[in-house]
Chains A and B, each alone.
Chain A
């Protein structure tokens, strides 16, 4: 494997920084400061809980917005600007371009999330709470959010290989929402007496990425420990799905007529 995907990834990250994507960090910091100051005044007994819940939810929502809206334009923008042609004229294969683009956006999300994590820790420190061992579950929850964001990015990239940004956004959002409700969809099928519907809901359950797996915000907020088995199982699940989507994306993109 050549170093080209790495070069593409670095440039994708630089482009995101140039597009002032990381400005959302300012908003996140303000949100954390506001919550830390306000919540104690308007609620009872949940100062720490709100900081953790709000922090983790904001990390997830901001990341999700970035992953979807930047992800769906990763390929399309390059085609629109016609920069893709000059790139592919270099010794860069189409799949390398895709992997590089994907890695660049994931790198952006990782750096964005890292800064948000620091802001969250600062807010927790501000509300006068010493860090304890169970805070490890907050870090694990953030890791799970990153895994889900990496997966959403792969879904967005997949759709962007053959569809317009508008449709890709709708498709990605649809897959995400279906993935969040995956358990409910299967349970719905199990409740019916229709074997065909049962098979269909089971198929959907196993086909769409199960984003419910990666949600451990509540557990982290309550300081509950997250089993190590879940960490490696979720990691493996996300990796396998991402590889699957990147392979499918590469297959579609390599066949696409760019003339």
Chain B
């Protein structure tokens, strides 16, 4: 009896140590080769035995975890993101966070996402088909067309369609008109990202929106400084070597700083740029937009 009581904790401790060793050997490989045993959304839907909405929550949580484990990791791939979102939205076509956040995860380029805005559009269109009265999905679609495809016509159409839905916010019709008039302007981009920032509670998305807003503000500031540099060049026949020279000649009231309080610098050709240490990043939209997905 006493021997058994003493042996149990010893065996548990040994099992713990053994598991740690097994994990050390297999974890990296397992993470790299994370797989989906079943990829057919329809088959999973059938096998859920009616508990499809609970299973959708499980798959959505898995998608969030999958994205979270890869985001900000250089050279990480997001190969399972679309299958996970596909399964989630097939199991529960009304799971709005999966469309809204899933589109962001899919569309963001660089280390922020899968860089597949085409799949994001497909996802949001599926969401609209299943939830035609949810204006937020039209806003998501308008954003995708605007930001990732620079397709202002379709973006305006999406915002306009959303504005016509009962209880849809008035800013959507304003956005639609703005897309028609000033599609590619920084002001329009700031308006959209401000809306994304204000309408989201999720800290990751809010940070993404805030970072983009800072970048857009910097882009606008740089354009303003470039104008002043042009004026300086016309007056003195050469570009200024620093923003301090612009201030000294009265073209600027002080040393301009970016949203994170780092002073702007001037490149040798006089073009305004961010301080190399500044965490602010100017959003770069692709010069050649990716092809639009087919319906």
Contacts and interface: CB of A to CB of B under 8 A. Distances in A.
Interface of A: 39, 42-46, 49-50, 53-54, 57, 60-61, 177, 180-181, 184, 211-212, 215, 217-218, 221-222, 224
A46 B51 contact: no
Contacts of A218: 52-53, 92, 94
A45 B100 CA distance: 10
A211 B94 CA distance: 22
Interface in B40-79: 46, 49-54, 56-57, 60-61, 64-65
A49 B60 CA distance: 11
Interface of chain B, main secondary structure = helix
Contacts of B51: 57, 60-61, 217
Nearest to A220: B53
A43 B54 contact: no
Contacts of B60: 43, 46
B97 interface: yes
B65 A53 contact: no
Contact of B95 (A42, A46, A57, A211): A46
Interface of B: 46, 49-54, 56-57, 60-61, 64-65, 92, 94-97, 100-101, 202, 204
A184 B95 CA distance: 23
Contact of A211 (B46, B50, B52, B101): B50
A217 B54 contact: yes
Of A39, A50, A211, the most chain B CB neighbours within 10 A belong to A50
A212 B50 CA distance: 7
Contacts of B100: 45
Given A43-B57, A45-B101, A46-B97, A215 B202 contact: no
A42 B53 contact: no
B64 A57 contact: no
A117 to B, nearest CB: 17
A49 B61 contact: no
Contacts of B46: 181, 184
A207 B265 CA distance: 80
Nearest to A43: B61
Contacts of B101: 44-45
Contact of B64 (A43, A54, A211, A217): A43
B57 A49 contact: yes
B57 A45 contact: no
Given A43-B60, A184-B46, A53 B202 contact: no
A44 to B, nearest CB: 5
Nearest to A148: B50
12 contacts: A39-B61, A42-B64, A44-B101, A44-B204, A45-B202, A53-B53, A54-B57, A57-B51, A57-B53, A180-B49, A184-B46, A218-B53
Contacts of A212: 50
Contacts of B65: 42
Nearest to A60: B51
B49 A46 contact: no
A44 B97 contact: yes
Contact of A53 (B49, B57, B97): B57
Nearest to B50: A215
Nearest to B94: A222
B63 to A, nearest CB: 9
B112 to A, nearest CB: 15
A217 B53 contact: yes
A121 to B, nearest CB: 18
Nearest to A184: B46
Contacts of A177: 49
A53 B96 CA distance: 15
Contacts of B64: 42-44
Contacts of A221: 53
Nearest to B51: A57
Contacts of B61: 39, 42-43, 46, 50
Contacts of A60: 51
A50 B95 CA distance: 11
Given A45-B100, A45-B202, A46-B95, 17 more contacts: A39-B61, A42-B64, A42-B65, A44-B64, A45-B96, A46-B57, A49-B53, A49-B57, A50-B57, A54-B57, A180-B49, A181-B46, A215-B50, A217-B50, A217-B51, A217-B53, A217-B54
